[in-house]
Amino acid sequence: MDDFFRILVIALLLGGIYGLVAMGLSLIFGVVRVVNFAQGELVMLGMYGAYFANRELGINVYLTAFVVVPALFVLGLLIQRLVIQPLRDEAAMQLLATFGLLILFQSAVLAATRGDTYTLTDRFARDTFKFASANIDYGRLSIVIVTTVIAVVLRQVIQQTTFGRSMRAVTEDRDAARLMGVNVERTFLITFGIGAALAGLAGVMLAPVYSITPQIGANFIFAGFAVVVVGGLGSVTGAYIGGFLIGAVEAFSGYYLDPTLGTAFYFMVFLVVLVVRPAGLFGRLGSEKVGGH
């Protein structure tokens, strides 16, 4: 029973990480209808941003979010305006463009850092406390809390604000939304910025927990895609809950079956859901709504 509880805690902590990474990815797909292969690299840039803001400017690692998140928001605006929007009628080209951005960002960071591994040490993030039979570190617990808060805030924004109504209208039918007076391009622009900003926030939260390398983004984008497909393409609620589902699959299969196959098992779930229910657990075929149900 103690082992089960420990693995359950690990699953929850993993789920918080995966959910935070996936929410921005899901938001961008839900509104802009672009699968952003570069989302993991945006997380990676957020991690490096937190590292250098902490080391060079002396800012507390978590307070670096006030620098990193706006910077990634602006980067997201630039990506949407300069890369995605000019290809708005070419879905395949948009997909290839985001893959090109993945290579560009990774190569640029690799050249700038010479591939060195950076470690951001923060006493709070590394400290642990005992809960029943499980040791929990504050860094990962903070990620679960932040992920939950972001999921609630995003849902409220999407459901209760004017911009949220614009997002929902564009998601349902962009042409009809345009006829109703919604500025579709502006909605796309801000949504992509928010998605990139969420990646930056994920980077800040992950920086004191993981070693930082130019390839770290790949670790998160694979899990992010699995979460988005399982939870429901375009559903923020699905991304949140899907994160915990994928975390549970990885943790329990890794412990009870084979620790080297955790990723393989959650991709098996990914494939099953993709075949059986393409819209995901919280999406609707043909009209996945941003925010979920």
Which candidate, 262, 291, 277, 279, places its Cα nearest to that of 18?
A: 262
Q: In Å, how far are 19, 138, 186, 241 from 42, measured between CA atoms? A: 15, 24, 21, 22
- Nearest CA-CA partner of 250 in 268, 236, 235: 268
pLDDT grade for 1, boundaries at 50, 70 and 90: low
What b-and-e string marks burial along 251-286, b requiring 16 or more CB atoms within 10 Å of the CB?
Answer: bbbbbeeeeeebbebbbebbeebeeeeebbbbbeee
Summarised one tens digit per residue, pLDDT across range 67-85 is 999 999 999 999 999 999 9
pLDDT at 287: 41
Within 8 A by CB and 6+ apart from 200, the residues are 42, 43, 45, 46, 49, 65, 68, 69, 71, 72, 73
Instruction: Give the pLDDT confidence score for residue 293 in this predicted structure.
Output: 44
**How many other β-carbons are positioned within 10 Å of the β-carbon of residue 14?**
25
**Domain range list for the chain:** 20-216
Q: pLDDT value at position 3?
A: 81
Number of Cα atoms under 13 Å in the Cβ half of residue 114: 0
- Residue 55 is predicted with a pLDDT of 93
Helix (H, G, I), strand (E, B) or coil at 114: coil
Give the mean pLDDT of the chain.
Answer: 90
CA distances from 263 to 48, 219, 236 (A): 25, 10, 22
State the DSSP string of 176-245. Answer: HHHHTT--HHHHHHHHHHHHHHHHHHHHHHHTTTS-B-TTHHHHHHHHHHHHHHHH-TT-HHHHHHHHHH
Lowest mean pLDDT among 35-49, 141-155, 182-196, 243-257: 243-257
Cβ neighbours around 121 below 10 Å, total: 9
**Measured distance CA(114)–CA(71) in Å, rounded:** 23
Q: Is the pTM of this model over 0.85?
A: yes
AA letter at 61: V
Packing angle, helices 184-206 and 162-172, rounded to 10: 110
Full DSSP string of 133-158: TEEEEHHHHHHHHHHHHHHHHHHHHH
Structure confidence at residue 290 as a pLDDT band (50, 70, 90): low
Q: 212 pLDDT exceeds 90?
A: yes
**Based on C-alpha coordinates, what's the Rg of the chain?**
19
3-state secondary structure of 101: helix
Higher pLDDT, 34 or 286: 34
